[in-house]
Amino acid sequence: MPIKPEQLAALMQEVEQEDPIDFADLPFPEDELRELVATHLCEMAASMENFSTEDRLMTLLAVSAKLVLENLVLHVQLLRRHGLPVSDNVEALLSRLRKGDA
């Protein structure tokens, strides 16, 4: 049973209770951004209905990994731009990557 965009947006909001997103001063309503992303992801999932379960999982994992990487890069760029230190976890990860121990 495929998830509807409204359901996905509600789940996203639940996840944000534990890990809030800083929307800062974006000129867009948070709910509209959530709905936009939920709709896009539901459309993407629907376009994979002919994929095998394994291919669908691999595709969704690849998309998720790309988004997490993009988020990390943007986060570090913002911190650097404002002259702020990264968290200990991020610094440890970056140190491992610099040494090639990832």
**pLDDT tens digits, one per residue of 2-23:** 799 999 999 999 999 998 998 9
Radius of gyration, alpha carbons of the chain: 17
Reading the block at residue 21, the tokens are: 């997103």
This prediction has a pTM of 0.73
Tell me the per-residue pLDDT of 33-92, one tens digit each, with 9 for 90 and over: 999 999 999 999 999 989 999 999 999 999 999 998 998 889 889 888 989 888 888 788
Fill in the amino acid letter for 94: L
**pLDDT at residue 4, rounded to an integer:** 95
- Residues 48, 56 contacting (CB under 8 angstroms): yes
Q: Which 8-state DSSP code applies to residue 87?
A: P
